Amino acid sequence: MAQYARSPAVAVIRLRNPPVNTLSFAVLQALEDGLEKADADPSVKAVMICGENGKFSAGADIRGFSSPNRPVKSLAALVSLIESSKKPVVAAIEGIALGGGLEVALGCHYRVAHVKARMGLPEVTLGLLPGAEGTQRLPRLIGVPAALDMITTGKHIPATEALKLGLVDEVVEENTVEAAIRLANKVIGQPLGPRRLSLKPVPKLPDMEAFLSQARVRVKKQAQGCLAPELCFQAVRAATQMPFADGVRRERELFMVLLSSGQARALQYAFLAERAAQKWTTPGGASWSSATPQPVRSAAVIGLGTMGRGIVTSLVKANIPVVALEQDLEYLNTGRKAVMLLLEREAMKMEVGAQTLDFHNPARLQFTVDFDSLRDVDLVIEAVFENMALKKEIFHKLSRICKPGALLCTNTSALNIDEIASATSRPQQVIGTHFFSPAHVMRLLEIIYGRHTSPTAIATAVQLAKALKKVGVVVGNCFGFVGNRMMFPYVQQAVFLLEEGSRPEAVDRVLEDFGFKIGPFRMSDLAGLDVGWRSRQGQGLTGPSVPAGTPARQRQGQRYSPLPDLLCESGRFGQKTGKGWYQYEKAGGRTATPDPWLHSLLAQYRDTHGIEPRFIDQEEILERCLFSLINEGFAILAEGIASGPEHLDVIYINGYGWPKHKGGPMFYASTVGLPRVLAKLHKYSEAHPDVPGLQPSAFLKKLAAVGNPPIKEWMSYLSQQSSRL
Ligand code: 3HC
Ligand code: NAI
């Protein structure tokens, strides 16, 4: 919990709670005991606090916020206790000092950090604010602008920046603990008043009011519906307006408001869900705990279109040498220019002093049209057109050319991994690595295992995701995998709502107000309407292969909307053609404006098909779009395509712009209440019996029948169900 030792005049208190020394009640108690012991021992002249295993502390235990009052209150009290110590207290910061961990360090009179340490107050990302007086001490130490920036964004800052800001007194490259003990010995006997942050005034600005009002506008804009940044702002503003003790009271009030908000619960769930999703298992028994990845020392990317460019950029940024291959010299030159531009932009964004991107060196990045250049790479990512015959041809070639151990990955967004693998002689090494556009920016990597994919291949893809600083989520093989499969019914509902009387801008507004970055129609325009059109043609849903006499609005007895096909047939592919569900200022333009042409097309369409338009309210728009998506999520869980609801939520937050403060679609369903979601789906499916996406999944029905069980228990009901079958 916390170890106490002497060095000889300096008491050493070491926080110990693996893996990241969170401040559990036991740790706080042990820290308090250590301080009392040091205070009582006349031979102790100073105190040094450090953390076990090269980490100071990651702050309060996120899992413990459900019983909030005790730990938070005692943490703040402990920070005050440290500050009021009559003997100097020095923090030795190694690894990380985050949240409550940094607040403990702010209670200390001096701070020494290792050069590789990172510090931050990331509470805002958990829907909270620094609740152990951090919002009052930090502005006193580093000034309001820097403190406000750290507290409202939650960013981690490196030790060198912390030194410039005055957050730490010393940065060392060698032994931080020894340096802190040296400093502690040096400051014995020096007055502590000036080192107690609660006694310092907040540094003045020429026009604090003007600064604060501009900052508030910025914070609100960045918050996108999230409450915590605004309340973090209010807590820091309190530091500029009130004495320390009143500021602390205000901080506590605001903290309690956030703690009881649903947003904090959702954001904390999202944090833990991301960790849970790393622990993958497959129905065949493969698991993260037993599978070993193989090293990826070099990679190749085939196809330098929209996706391939971003994937190459990601690999180069992760310092993995890449061979980039295109079908001919013309495509290769276009692809090369695009990749170089992306890499130049990335290089400009990199921190001063960070390792530079070595992309002009052909040993690190090579462009070719020759498949023979792929002989020695450890991993290949295919990103050619979404066409099964082409993908199979390429995988057949790869299977002949690549060295025996090489992993063969496909970036397909929906196609069958097993069928692609069947074109090779090594299906155990074939896996889906589904990146999201733009691939060098989006954090999600959906990792899809096929029937024969080996545990080593899965572990290697997961390791690759980490190397690329992405969140890898392992899922099973089905049409659209997890993310796109849940997206299909959502987009389908959005289009049906247009048929029935709504407009793209009305549907988008409801979903954007809910918190999506962009609604379904803006999203389709951005991605390109032709992508789905080609896929529907491939599935025989539209185009010449549709049998004569097929009703326009029905396919295989189910409701179908030809509206998106009609748009594509008029050359409206979205942003790229300047027209889609909206009109844009030019081809490639980004400003969407409602389009009278589309409104009259909708009116005409309803006339042709005898549809009486009706007013559709916000509730129906939201529920039909979201609940059909969630319903598909339950079907996916029941089929064993994903190991748990957390996986679906991580996919939606990181790949589909789902508002993080609403925890992901499955978490959201649990907050709405499963019986309510079920009742609504029943209602809508009765009104639209020809829409299978609205018919409640058996798993949802089973869970709702037992009430609204906590999300972490859902999967146990599934195994009860299967064991009875
Ligand atoms: N509480 C509980 N568990 C935590 C935790 C925390 N604050 N921080 C990390 N963990 C757990 C993780 O859940 C994970 O557990 P698992 O092995 O069971 O999955 C384990 O520690 C390791 O974490 P990571 O997998 O994330 O390891 P990394 O090395 O990639 O990252 C980290 C380490 C940078 C510390 C990262 O975990 C992190 O950012 N943690 C959150 C820090 C934070 O937000 N602190 C603020 C807490 S709120 C607070 O202090 C309130 C106060 O103001 C009153
Ligand atoms: P794209 O059309 O922009 O690029 C495809 C590239 O592949 C072209 O540059 C083409 O010249 C090249 N290519 C075609 N045949 C080739 C061959 N035989 N050898 C080498 N190169 C060849 O396509 P995009 O959008 O990049 O999609 C690629 C894959 O990624 C598809 O499977 C798609 O479904 C998937 N995907 C696309 C997303 C998107 O938002 N565009 C998102 C996620 C996955």
d(C-alpha 575, C-alpha 588), whole Å: 5
Q: Is 42 in the pocket of ligand 1 (CB under 6 A)?
A: no
Q: Is 58 in the pocket of ligand 1 (CB under 6 A)?
A: yes
Crossing angle of helices 228-241 and 134-142, in 10° steps, is 60
pLDDT at position 353 = 60
In sequence order, what are the residues at sequence separation of 6 or more whose Cβ sits closer than 8 angstroms to the Cβ of residue 344? none
What whole-number percentage of the chain has pLDDT above 70? 97
| Catalytic residue check, 123 | yes
Q: Mean pLDDT, the chain, as a whole number?
A: 95
In sequence order, what are the residues at sequence separation of 6 or more whose Cβ sits closer than 8 angstroms to the Cβ of residue 287? 279, 280, 281, 455
Nearest to 439 by CA among 264, 318, 565: 318
Nearest residue (by CA) to ligand 1, atom 28, is 20
pLDDT at position 673 = 98
Label residue 548 by pLDDT band (50, 70, 90). very high
Q: Using the mean position of ligand 1's atoms as its centre, give its distance from the Cα of residue 275 in Å.
A: 9
Tens of pLDDT, residue by residue over 422-462, are 999 999 999 999 999 999 999 999 999 999 999 999 999 99
Q: Is 95 in the pocket of ligand 1 (CB under 6 A)?
A: no
pLDDT at position 723 = 38
d(C-alpha 313, C-alpha 308), whole Å: 9
pLDDT at position 66 = 66
In sequence order, what are the residues at sequence separation of 6 or more whose Cβ sits closer than 8 angstroms to the Cβ of residue 312? 301, 304, 322, 324, 339, 365
| Catalytic residue check, 103 | yes
Q: Which atom of ligand 1 is nearest to the CA of 121?
A: 46
pLDDT at position 376 = 97
Point out the catalytic residue in the list 52, 94, 103, 446.
103
Strands (E), 483-608: 554-555, 558-559
d(C-alpha 201, C-alpha 211), whole Å: 18
Tens of pLDDT, residue by residue over 565-616, are 999 999 999 999 999 999 999 999 999 999 999 999 999 999 999 999 999 9
Nearest to 480 by CA among 629, 580, 380, 379: 629
Tens of pLDDT, residue by residue over 462-490, are 999 999 999 999 999 999 999 999 999 99
Nearest to 129 by CA among 196, 56, 65, 82: 65
Q: Using the mean position of ligand 2's atoms as its centre, give its distance from the Cα of residue 242 in Å.
A: 58
Tens of pLDDT, residue by residue over 657-683, are 999 999 999 999 999 999 999 999 999
Q: Among 23-32, 138-147, 161-170, 624-633, name the one with the lowest average pLDDT.
A: 23-32
pLDDT at position 65 = 80
SS3 601: helix
Average confidence (pLDDT) over 523-544: 92
Tokens read off for 219: 């914070």
Which residue bears the tokens 């002009």?
360
Which residue bears the tokens 């026009």?
207
Q: Is 700 in the pocket of ligand 1 (CB under 6 A)?
A: no
H or E stretch covering 459: helix 455-467
pLDDT at position 720 = 62
* In the predicted structure, residue 1 carries a pLDDT above the cut 90: no
Tens of pLDDT, residue by residue over 97-149, are 999 999 999 999 999 999 999 999 999 999 999 999 999 999 999 999 999 99
Tokens read off for 651: 């996919």
pLDDT at position 722 = 47
* Torsion angle, alpha carbons of 510, 565, 486, 686, to 10: 70
* In the predicted structure, residue 633 carries a pLDDT above the cut 50: yes
Nearest to 628 by CA among 493, 512, 508: 493
- What is the number of the ligand closest to the CA of 102? 1
Tens of pLDDT, residue by residue over 50-105, are 999 999 999 999 998 865 445 555 899 999 999 999 999 999 999 999 999 999 99
* In the predicted structure, residue 3 carries a pLDDT above the cut 90: no
Nearest to 320 by CA among 381, 241, 272: 381
Average confidence (pLDDT) over 618-624: 98
Query: What pTM was estimated for this model as a whole?
Result: 0.94
- Residue type present at position 671: T
Point out the catalytic residue in the list 123, 133, 499, 505.
123
Out of 302, 306, 417, give the residue to mutate to test ligand 2, the one with the largest number of ligand atoms within 8 Å of its CB: 306
Q: What share of the chain is helix, strand, coil (3-state, %, to 5)?
A: 55, 10, 35
Tens of pLDDT, residue by residue over 285-312, are 999 999 999 999 999 999 999 999 999 9
Check if the beta carbon of residue 219 is closer than 8 Å to that of residue 225. no
Nearest residue (by CA) to ligand 2, atom 25, is 306
User: What are the pocket residues of ligand 2 if the criterion is a CB atom closer than 6 Å to any ligand atom?
Assistant: 302-308, 325-327, 331, 383-386, 390, 394, 411-413, 434-437, 527
pLDDT at position 358 = 82
Rounded to an integer, what is the distance from CA 161 to the centroid of its chain? Answer: 25
* In the predicted structure, residue 724 carries a pLDDT above the cut 50: no
ipTM of the complex: 0.96
Q: Is 274 in the pocket of ligand 1 (CB under 6 A)?
A: no
Q: Is 99 in the pocket of ligand 1 (CB under 6 A)?
A: yes
Please, where are the H alpha helices in 62-195?
69-84, 100-107, 134-142, 144-153, 159-165, 176-187
DSSP symbols for 193-259: GGG-GGGSPPPP-TTHHHHHHHHHHHHHHHHTT-SHHHHHHHHHHHHHHS-HHHHHHHHHHHHHHHH
pLDDT at position 67 = 58
pLDDT at position 458 = 98
Out of 385, 391, 447, 573, give the residue to mutate to test ligand 2, the one with the largest number of ligand atoms within 8 Å of its CB: 385
d(C-alpha 290, C-alpha 288), whole Å: 6
d(C-alpha 368, C-alpha 372), whole Å: 9
Question: What domains does the chain contain, in order, with CATH numbers?
Answer: 2-259 (3.90.226.10), 299-475 (3.40.50.720), 502-608 (1.10.1040.10), 618-722 (1.10.1040.10)
Tens of pLDDT, residue by residue over 310-343, are 999 999 999 999 999 999 999 999 999 999 999 9
Q: Using the mean position of ligand 1's atoms as its centre, give its distance from the Cα of residue 61 in Å.
A: 8
